Amino acid sequence: MKQFLLTFMVIIFLSCSASKRIEYKPIVFDEERAELTRAYLLEHYGIQQESPSILPKMIVLHWTVIPTLEEAFEAFDKPGLPNSRPDIINASSLNVSSQFMVDRDGTIYSLMPETNMARHVIGLNHCAIGVENVGGTKELPLTRAQLKANVWLVEYLYNKYPIEYLIGHYEYINFTDHPLWLEKDETYRTLKTDPGKDFMEKVRKATKNLNFKPVPKKTENNGQ
Ligand SMILES: [Zn+2]
Q: Residue 203 pLDDT > 80, yes or no?
A: yes
**Ligand 1 centre and the CA of 6: distance in Å?**
45
DSSP letter for each residue of 75-144: HHHSSBPPTT-TTTTTT-SBPP--SEEE-TT--EEE-S-TTB----STTTTTTEEEEEES--SSSSPPPH
pLDDT at 91: 83
Q: What is the pLDDT of residue 19?
A: 54
Model pLDDT, residue 6: 60
Give percent of the chain above pLDDT 90: 83
* pLDDT score of 222: 46
Contact 149, 108 (CB under 8 A): yes
Q: How many CA atoms lie within 13 A of 165 on its CB side?
A: 25
97 Cα to the center of ligand 1, angstroms:
10
Closest alpha carbon to 59 in 134, 152, 157: 157
Dist. CA 129 → ligand 1 center (Å): 12
Q: Which of 200, 154, 199, 151 is nearest to 174 (CA)?
A: 200
Mean pLDDT for 132-151 is: 98
> How high is the pLDDT of residue 223?
45
With beta carbons less than 8 A apart as the criterion, state whether 134 and 62 touch.
no
Query: By three-state DSSP, how is residue 21 classified?
Result: coil
Is the model's pLDDT at 167 over the cut of 90? yes
| Torsion (CA) 77, 80, 86, 92 in degrees, nearest 10 | 120
| Mean pLDDT within 108-118 | 98
Distance 5 CA to ligand 1 centre (A): 46
**Mean pLDDT of all residues belonging to the chain:** 92
**pTM of this structure:** 0.89
> Helix crossing, 197-206 with 144-160: angle to 10°?
50
Q: What is the pLDDT of residues 35-88, one digit of tens each?
A: 999 999 999 999 999 999 999 999 999 999 999 999 999 999 999 998 878 888
Q: What is the dihedral of CA 116, 87, 103, 100, to 10 degrees?
A: 10
Whether the pLDDT of residue 137 is over 80: the answer is yes
